Amino acid sequence: MYLCIFRPAVILKLDIIVMLIQFVSSYDIVSHLRMGNFTSSTTGGLSSTTCVQYVQEVVSQNCVVIFSKTTCPYCKMAKNVFNEIGATYKVVELDEHNDGRRLQEALAQMTGARTVPRVFINGNCIGGGSDTKQLHQQGKLVPLIEQCAPCCAASSSEGSGSGQFESAK
């Protein structure tokens, strides 16, 4: 008898839980997270304009810059090409950077491609990992590096170097 008095309340609570599960399932938050569409309301960090300025500054101060992600095989390919030829380069690892997502959006705006790596030589984007490898195979990569402005070629900013990189934060 005691259970019968509370039974409708339990059923009501179960109905509410079922409705919530159906709502969450229909919203499909998991795909939003995977697709990068989920944004936090507490985002601070750099503005879009500041991100573009940051990219421009890094690119203007270094002969070779690779905007990369640590787990990307194409990023590793690009770094390996520069390591093979002994070139000095600077790497900005977007997945370790506080504003990596915004920097990647700025790179997309600036270069027309959102994919990584985004490789710059002497201020110009040459493309990604496959593009870098292809230029090297065609014998065109080293001449591009040799054309670097003296200020870029002479700079040895911290974290730059053949096979070395800086995870800028």
81-99 mean pLDDT? 97
Q: How far apart are CA 94 and CA 112, in angstroms?
A: 17
Residue 71 token pair: 């787990």
Residue 70 token pair: 């640590």
Mean pLDDT over the full length of the chain: 77
Name the β-bridge partners of 90.
65
The answer to whether position 54 is within a domain reads: yes
The DSSP H or E segment spanning 74 is helix 73-85
Q: How far apart are CA 137 and CA 80, in angstroms?
A: 13
Task: Quickly state the pLDDT bin for 44 (edges 50, 70, 90).
Answer: low
Asked if residue 73 has pLDDT above 60, the reply is yes
CATH code: domain of residue 97: 3.40.30.10
Q: How far apart are CA 101 and CA 168, in angstroms?
A: 13
The answer to whether position 154 is within a domain reads: no
The answer to whether position 167 is within a domain reads: no
The answer to whether position 24 is within a domain reads: no
| CA–CA–CA angle 109, 114, 120 (5° rounding) | 80
Q: How many domains does the chain have?
A: 1
The answer to whether position 7 is within a domain reads: no
Residues 6+ apart with CB under 8 A from 65: 58, 59, 89, 90, 91, 92, 119, 120
Which domain range does residue 78 map to?
A: 48-147
The answer to whether position 22 is within a domain reads: no
Asked if residue 45 has pLDDT above 50, the reply is yes
User: Which of 65, 109, 53 is CA-nearest to residue 91?
Assistant: 65
Task: Quickly state the pLDDT bin for 31 (edges 50, 70, 90).
Answer: very low
pLDDT-wise least confident of 11-20, 76-85, 118-127: 11-20
The answer to whether position 52 is within a domain reads: yes
Task: Quickly state the pLDDT bin for 14 (edges 50, 70, 90).
Answer: low
The answer to whether position 120 is within a domain reads: yes
pLDDT (0 to 100) of residue 40: 33
